[in-house]
Amino acid sequence: MRHKYVLVLIMCVSLTMMPGCWDQNLLKNISLVLASSIDQGEDDDIKVSITYRKVQPSQSAQQGGGSGSYSTTVLTTEAPTLRRARTDFGRMVDQKIDISKMRILLIGDDFSKNNLLPYLDVYYRDPKSPLLANLAVVKGGSSIDVINKLLKEQLIVSDYLNNLLTTASRGSQVTAGNIQSIRSKMLQVGEDFTLPLILFDQSKQLIKVAGVALFDDEVKSGELYGQDAMLLNLMDNRIGKYANFTKKIRNDMELEENNYVTIQVTKSKRDIRIINSDHRHVTIGLDFTFNTSVIEYPKDNLDNTKKVNELNDRLSVIMTKEAEKVISTLQKANSDVLGLGRKYRVKHFEEYQKMNWKTDYPQVKIIPKVKVNITQTGIIN
């Protein structure tokens, strides 16, 4: 019995020594930043904007009941760095600015042609930084224009843009990139990255995912749109839930729609071959195999194995030509999204040391070949 009393006494004494929530961050005391944007400012400054949500206590909440409502506010400032911009924002609000829950960071097209790493440095030093926040490049207007357009429609900016990018990623139209994932590729020679490209059509007041922005190290250097962007993601082994391609396979049908077929890539396989390892004449072969199902083909007749094989051959030729066009665009942009430099360095390090991959990459001979296999033709067959 005595042991029980001693144990209770020890527990009581321990409770008095236990610390409370010393690091609590109450929602009512902070302004949560859920979306942010960076555009090119004047005199080499950057134009930074944030949207923050603030609890507006209702009359009933002030009297002890209810929880109040949220209001969304946009703030903009120009500063030489993001840290300085945060300091400026701190002078504009009556609460502490908290970016730890930020979900989306928009980058203006003009600003994306600068070196990004120095401006993003602040995120890599703060332990509370939103490293998983998605990034996207905005073209057709400034990124703050996109935010203002969505707020005008009374939409939650972060939710709408995140859902937009998630849907595009599922359809293999883009590969989502966040603040953390792009850092290693900005620092590593031999592998570059892409970011989703959002197009703001000001004449139609329409916001859509148009393709991907290509980067050379830290600088945006090119773009790929529509099905070319989708094909690049497949070539990079980054297929989403599905990838649909509509291709014109003939010109002789009276009804125009009978000249087209729509396929869905269900599985992709890639094989990278170093054909010539000599640093003066590097030649790389890229072999792709796409297993597909036919989801639209008005002409039909796919119950015939010979016809299916003919369609496979036509699609393989078409997709190979488009893969060549994608490779050409990547080399013109000096963007090694496929990471060929890293793979060449691993397999032939001595030859790699004799060249400068960053400057020599556009002259490397890259030979893509796509083989299409139709494995499903739909329920009607």
Q: What is the pLDDT of residues 107-153, one digit of tens each?
A: 999 999 999 999 999 999 988 889 999 999 999 989 999 999 999 88
Per DSSP, what are the bridge partners of residue 279? Answer: none
pLDDT of amino acid 21: 61
CA-wise closest residue to 364 among 289, 275, 288: 275
CA-wise closest residue to 99 among 125, 73, 131: 131
CB atoms within 10 A of CB 227: 19
pLDDT of amino acid 312: 93
Mean pLDDT of 155-167: 93
| Token pair in block for residue 5 | 């009393």
Q: How far is 213 from 224, CA to CA, in rounded Å?
A: 7
Query: Where is pLDDT greater, at 218 or 28?
Result: 218
pLDDT of amino acid 132: 92
pLDDT tens-digit profile of 47-66?
999 998 766 665 544 555 55
With a threshold of 0.85, does the pTM exceed it? yes
pLDDT tens-digit profile of 169-178?
999 999 988 9
pLDDT tens-digit profile of 33-48?
899 999 999 888 999 9
pLDDT tens-digit profile of 261-304?
999 999 999 999 999 999 999 999 999 999 999 999 887 778 78
